[in-house]
């Protein structure tokens, strides 16, 4: 990844921290798109045990640099949006827990990226919006459908069609944001949770994600059909075997997982 990229990846003890830093507003533009793809390439090439997405600056993101849209015709826009949806799909498919930390205003592509993650953390000062309607557009990175997945289609219609901003408490009440935390110490809390997930049973977490995908594809019946084989495969992992022996010899809460 280029050293001057607005997106960097830092690894510590199995945790990959993806940081976006393109002041002042972390807008999506050509370099941002290139940086995000390069970061995801790295995560897929050498899989971490958990990923934290975090942003520098007062604002998580002010959205897209509208100059990106100016030269596009319908075919060009379709190509761009295909690439954007692919970013969300690749993040969602990572075989490890993913955490998004929203410390402030999070608009358009940033919120859509958050919705592709497993957990969303927010400060009590954070606000969220899909404001594409202000330029006659509808969200094109998967935000509408992933918001509907978490909050229902009625909420998604309201959120997208009004283009309003919604605070973290509201998004928590909708089931979109997992935890609302104070501003003070937020980055440390987000890192601590991500580190906790990265020290857990990585393969089991991947199975959990696959079971939920089965549920979303075909409801409880599909998940019920898939879960025996998915969970059964865990008995081939070192983590499960070692944890069972630790439980039997020492007791619960003492297992150390290696992600294998």
Instruction: State the pLDDT at residue 3.
Output: 63
Work out whether the CA dihedral 245, 250, 251, 254 comes out positive or negative: negative
> Which residues, in sequence order, are CB contacts of 61 under 8 Å at separation 6+?
20, 25, 26, 27, 28, 55, 105, 106, 107, 108, 109, 110
pTM: 0.94
* pLDDT tens string 160-210: 999 999 999 999 999 999 999 999 999 999 999 999 999 999 999 999 999
- 96 phi and psi, to 5 degrees? -155, 165
125 preceded by cis ω (within 30°)? no
Percent of residues in the chain assigned helix, strand, coil, to nearest 5: 50, 15, 30
Tracing tokens 């003890």 back to the chain, one arrives at: 13
* pLDDT tens string 46-96: 989 999 999 999 999 999 999 999 999 999 999 999 999 999 999 999 999
* pLDDT tens string 9-28: 999 999 999 999 999 999 99
């Amino acid at each position: 990844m280029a050293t001057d990229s607005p997106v960097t990846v830092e690894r510590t003890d199995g945790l990959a921290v993806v940081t976006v830093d393109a002041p002042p507003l972390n807008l999506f533009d050509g370099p941002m798109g290139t940086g995000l793809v390069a970061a995801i390439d790295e995560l897929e090439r050498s899989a971490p045990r958990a990923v934290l997405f975090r942003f520098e600056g007062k604002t998580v993101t002010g959205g897209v640099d509208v100059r990106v849209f100016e030269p596009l015709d319908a075919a060009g826009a379709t190509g761009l949006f295909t690439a954007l949806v692919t970013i969300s799909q690749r993040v969602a498919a990572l075989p490890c827990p993913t955490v998004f930390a929203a410390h402030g205003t999070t608009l358009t592509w940033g919120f859509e990226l958050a919705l592709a993650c497993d957990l969303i953390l927010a400060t009590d000062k954070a606000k969220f919006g899909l404001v594409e309607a202000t330029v006659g557009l509808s969200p094109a990175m998967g935000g509408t459908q992933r918001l509907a997945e978490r909050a229902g289609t009625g909420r998604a219609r309201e959120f997208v069609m009004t283009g309003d901003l919604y605070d973290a408490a509201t998004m928590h009440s909708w089931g979109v944001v997992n935890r609302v935390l104070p501003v003070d110490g937020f980055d440390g809390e987000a890192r601590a949770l991500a580190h906790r997930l990265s020290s857990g049973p990585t393969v089991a977490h991947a199975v959990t994600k696959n079971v939920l995908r089965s549920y979303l594809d075909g409801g409880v019946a599909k998940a019920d059909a898939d879960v025996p084989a998915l969970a059964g495969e865990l008995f081939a992992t070192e983590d499960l075997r070692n944890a069972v022996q630790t439980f039997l010899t020492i007791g619960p809460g003492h297992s150390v997982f290696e992600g294998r």
